[in-house]
Structure 1
Amino acid sequence: MYGWTGNILHIDLTKKSSRVESPGLNVLNRYVGGKGFGGKFLRQCATLPWDHPDMVICIFTGPLTGTISPTSGRAHILSKSPLTGLVGDSSVGGKLATRLKRAGWDGIVIKGESRTPLGITIKDDSIEFKDARGLWGLDINAVHEKIRPGTSSILAIGPAAENGVRFASITVDRHFAAGRSGLGLCLARKKIKYILVDGTGRTKIKDHEKLKQAREDILRLTAASPALMGQFGFTCLGTGAVYDLMDNRRMMPTDNFRRTFFEHAPGLNAAAYAKTYAPKKHGCLGCHILCKKIGKKNGKKITMPEFETMSHFTALIGCMDTDLVIKANERCNHFGMDTISVASTLACRREITGIDYTKESLLSLLNDIAFGRGEGKDLALGAKLYAEKMGKPEAAMAVKGLELPAYDPRGALGMALGYALSTRGGCHLRAYPISHEIFRKPVATNRFSFSGKARIIKIAEDLNTVVDSLIACKFTFFAAGLEEYAMAYEAVTGIETSAQDLLLKGERIYYNERIINALNNFDARDDDLPDRFFTKPGSGTNNINIPPVNRDAFLSARKKYYSIRGLTTNGLPEKDKAESLGLIWNNL
């Protein structure tokens, strides 16, 4: 067998036992890896509550993991989200995926729950359960200092997860976060403090020469991309490169999405951080883009904030201090909290209470959220539940319970549709329409029109889904396409594959997620946006008008999407469509 190891590790925490599942090649090729296999196993327990002992949490690699295929070093983690009740998943960098593959595993499926905190160590086919009671309560850095993982990869949770924060994250190798969906809380519920992974194996490749050709094609295309490798691209400035761009396009979520322009942005951009912290290029194992930036100040290493964190901890909550953003980001990383969700919830609080933040009050609230103290206990519920508790549900800028990231949908109508339809909730990465609406890749589309967007969103969802299953990084697709990755997939696995074949796999995996969400009573009522976007304009200029989203046009585009996706007019999966994709059907 090539590409895959052919082995999935099942761990039962209740019994402190493990077993091996070895799916056949047809199953591996059908679900690919990553998000595909995570969804396959989540489907089997889809209607259970997120905190039920039999609810699974899945960690998967892909067939390209451990090869020279560019950007293949990411892992995908999936369970039911405690924040939304939807499919909850997150892609994460670091060494985790590569180390897991070297250990001989395509993925891990964990169920059950431990009575006491534990760690799991995986070294090739050796699985050990470690007493972690002495680590419970420690932050991410302290866990690293205690464990000292060396060349192994370590996945860990912080005190936020232990204290029930709905948007608790999982940290990999200290600097990489599986941030969205509250997956850290899923691990905490099972009493898993950390997982340590290492291995000595290698991924078997069918055709080394063809893989080298695919790699060279991808590297050539990305090298020519200004968005990736240019002077102001991700390699030089990190994801913060888009900070000025979003503000100039009048798409910067400001004051909890009440405005779309932040006049202080020019002094808070990626260049401002570069000047103060002189960050160096870092990235996921085997990645050539190196968008992760780690700086230094007073001899201390500091992880630079990603774009969403830069934006939400400034414009969204009304702060104008890069040092505060660094400290807030650092605190969230140490405690294990998603920066998008926590900043959005704090913006919601600011709108409701009318109280601005000082440096001291903001950092104090982050502590209170992580440790469940005072007002922090309510804020730890996330923006939607917090706003409802405060009697101001309209102040929560979330879709299906997941707080919105840093792109205002009034300035990009494909993003408006993508947010509403996402199977994860308020997510920019399911369809990532910014690629064509702002970066104009692979082709430019009119950001102020819904024309053609229903079909584009559907295709992009399928594409990004299979990318999260192969696994590769979405940033590569600013330059390369599925044709190059189909060649890489074929070279690695030996299975004849076209770009269209990969899209079909993505469609199957995404439709499975729609079924999972439908089984949890999500329908067209949930495929919507906060009213604010339909009733209030953004902050325009003489040259750029940012009107409210036209609701009739939005509903028309959503209706077209349902038809193209093979859903009912109420957004529910259809039996014939599911079966045509080879999916098991549940009566909905």
Structure 2
Amino acid sequence: MSWAGKLLRVNLTAGTVKSEPLNMEWARAYLGSRGLGSKYLISEIDPKVDPLAAENKLIWATGPLTGTMASTGGRYTVITKGPLTGAIACSNSGGYFGAELKMAGWDMVIVEGKSAKPVYLHISDDEAELRDAAHLWGQSVWKTEEILKSSLQDPLIRVSSIGKAGENGVLFAAVVNDLHRAAGRSGVGAVMGSKNLKAIAVRGTKGVGNIRDPKAFMKTTFEKKKILAENAVTGQGLPAYGTQVLMNVINEIGALPTRNHRDVQFEGAKDISAEAMVTPRESDGKKHLVTNQACFGCTIACGRISKMDEGHFTVQNKPQYWGANGGLEYEAAWALGAANGVNDLEALQYANLLCNEEGFDPISFGATVGAVMELYEMGVLTAEQLGIDAKFGSAQALAHFAEITAKGEGFGKEIGQGSKRLTEKYGYPDLSMSVKGQEFPAYDGRAIQGIGLAYATSNRGACHLRGYTIASEVLGIPVKTDPVESEGKPELVKAFQDATAAFDSSGLCVFTTFAWGVADLAPQLQAACDEAFTTEELEKIGERIWNMEREFNNAAGFTSKDDSLPKRLLTEAAKTGASKGMVSKLPEMLPKYYAARGWDTEGRPTAETRARLSL
């Protein structure tokens, strides 16, 4: 059946650690990872709880295919009520931690309460205990992992931890594993820090042995890996260039948000693109990109390993950053680069390393810096306040802001609250490019209409990974739709959102969906778990998960008014590119989306929809 069949419940207030059987009825209705973890969270907390209060809970959840030989079976999610948004937060990560947790025999870890002092959770197969973390508090993610591997005398232990950002209450703090993989968005790391939980260190030696039909599973996973290998995106583009392959593509069609969304094309995009990463530098003749890297069980290997120019101003006296490190991915490169008008690839890599090292989301950080730079150019913020001249395009300002946000010093404390709170404080809330308080990723909703609707309706705030319509609107997968056309987009967005919920909950990576549909996921789950997981059933599970998340947000106080976009996207037309003269057509798409979802005009699931989905 592929689930381990048990979860670990950790009460930090009492200092207790207990094993519980997994609710298998829920597992069959919500799969695992995102779906099942969210079901547990929603069943156990008050939707109106303060995200940073002890009463909020934090869940690490694997899926039924996590730790198996299915391609990309290394994913896990961290689920909580998010401090950045106040909405449900569910952040997905790769690397090796998720598979290790599953191989130790656990589907989930539910953390509740708050410890009186810093602790970490040590798991070795069936044995689990809370241990003192006084020696780890104040350490970076990288140092924490190094200390734990050394003190526990196990180089193969896997660590999921927070850095200074999580400790200091940065509202977009991440939970980082394997040095450069992160449950990055919505502030899950801030919740971990508020509970005085520094890390989870896990070692699993059991494997995942309870596959329902091992021969059928081997056969179907082999067939599906072949599809990934032969696909232009998963077999060629992502392995060669990583997600950064999109930088020039999105810029050329006029959908690259630039200088806090004032523009939709960045004249410096080519300097921070995948192509730039593989071109020898003028300064030292070496390439920025060293190699690619894969997460557990992944046959795509889209991860980047990069080496900085040792003479660059950001690192010339910091040899700790001279080695090969986790490299830039598209969203981070956009947020640290185009969003701020910065075209210095090395400065972007430096800021990205600080995000990894101290555990904070480069998307929200970079987008918040974009708002800061606009406020500075307007004269609302001064160099005295910021500690630096912060015009759009300043690599020095970007590096400075990354350093002070990582340390929680000076104006960095305000940046760490995110763009919504920062722009409200200084009287210009419309300059926060966010939905429900979470900053946009790297696509403009005027130039790509479907993604604008996906941002507005995402349950965790603005997000591209909750319904990646870019696949259809830009790449033509599975069918090509016109990015500037709004007709048909409500139905497209719903279909992507539901399918993604199913993939997220299985324990596999959403990048497989460039080549696979739900019909490719179904036989893998049938062989591993249960023949009941048909394509139709998985589509229904995805829709059930989406509606469950929506109902939690409604109960937390969100309404249809929160399914909106910043004024800039609704009233300021794009100046260049294919969408020149256009704004987002959200007002005409949203009612059709509600109708497609089976919701009332206020965005609430109807009684009929709830009954159909067994909510």
Same fold by TM-score, threshold 0.5 exceeded? yes
Quote the residue 1:586 is aligned against: none
Give the equivalent residue in structure 1 for 2:479. 443
Structure-2 residue corresponding to 1:260? 264
8 Å CA contact 2:295–2:301 kept in 1: the answer is yes
1:227 corresponds to which of 219, 229, 233: 233
| d(CA) in 2 for partners of 1:125, 1:307 | 39
Contact 1:41 1:56 in 2 (8 A): no
Pair 15,278 (structure 1): closer, same or farther in 2 beyond 3 Å = same
SS in 1 for 2:562: coil
In 1, Cα distance between equivalents of 2:581 and 2:466 = 25
Cα contact 2:10–2:111 (8 A) shared by 1: yes
3-state DSSP class of the match of 1:59? strand
CA shift, 1:135, in A, is 1.2
> What residue number does 2:329 align with?
306
Q: Which stretch shows the higher mean deviation, 285-294 or 350-359?
A: 350-359
- 1:240 maps to 2:244: yes
Tell me what 1:215 maps to. Answer: 221
Q: Corresponding residue for 1:461?
A: 497
CA contact 1:217–1:484 (8 Å) conserved in 2: no
Please give the alpha-carbon distance, in whole angstroms, between the structure 1 residues aligned to 2:411 and 2:207. 50
1:181 maps to 186
SS in 1 for 2:352: helix
**CA distance in 2 between partners of 1:202 and 1:167 (Å):** 33
Does the CA contact (< 8 Å) of 2:174 and 2:190 recur in 1?
yes
Is 1:426 paired with 2:432? no
Aligned to 1:571: 603
Output one character per residue of 1:338-396: Cα deviation in whole Å (capped at 9) or x when no partner.
00000010000111111316443332222222333222221111000000001111111
Deviations 1:528-547 (A, max 9, x none): 10111121122424xx2333
Preserved contact between residue 574 and residue 583 of structure 2 (Cα < 8 Å): no
In the alignment of these two chains, the number of paired residues is 576
Match of 1:192 in 2: 197
Is residue 2:113 matched to residue 1:112?
A: yes
3-state SS in 1 of match to 2:461? coil
SS in 2 for 1:70: coil
Question: Which 5+ residue runs of structure 1 have no aligned equivalent?
Answer: 584-588
Kept in 2: contact 1:207–1:494 (CA 8 A): no
1:205 to 184, 199, 211: 211
Distance between the aligned counterparts of 1:493 and 1:382, measured in 2? 41
**In the alignment, does 2:14 pair up with 1:15?**
yes
Q: Return the offset for 1:550.
A: 5.1
Amino acid at match of 1:40: K
What value does the CA root-mean-square deviation take over the aligned residues? Answer: 1.5
Which of these residues, 163, 169, 172, is aligned with residue 167 of structure 1?
172
Which position in structure 2 is the counterpart of 1:537? 573
One-letter amino acid of the counterpart of residue 571, structure 1: G
2:360 is aligned with 1:337? yes
What pairs with 1:59-70 in structure 2 (closer than 5 Å)? 59-70=60-71
Moved over 4 A (4+): none
What is the CA distance between 1:481 and its match in structure 2?
1.5
* Partners of 1:221 and 1:539 in 2: CA distance: 40
| 1:387 matched to 2:387 | no
Q: Secondary structure at the match of 1:180?
A: coil
CA distance in 1, matches of 2:575, 2:250: 12
Alpha-carbon contact 2:289-2:306 (below 8 Å) kept? yes
Which of 282, 289, 293 is the equivalent residue of 2:293?
282
Deviations 1:40-83 (A, max 9, x none): 12212123211221211111111111211111111011101000
Residue identity over aligned pairs, in percent, reads 33
How far off its partner does 1:153 sit?
1.0
Deviation at residue 417 of structure 1 after TM alignment = 0.7
Q: In 2, Cα distance between the equivalents of 1:54 and 1:578?
A: 28
> Structure 1 residue 24: deviation in Å?
4.7
Which residue does the alignment assign to 2:452?
A: 416
Provide Cα deviations, 1:255-300, integer angstroms capped at 9, x if missing partner: 1100011112122211212232232121210100000011235661
8 A contact 1:167–1:341 mirrored in 2: yes
2-structure distance, mates of 1:191, 1:423:
27
Q: Which amino acid aligns with 2:601?
A: T
Gap change, CA 1:269 and 1:432, over 3 Å in 2: same
- Cα distance in structure 1, aligned partners of 2:489 and 2:395: 42
Distance in 2, Cα, partners of 1:453 & 1:400: 21
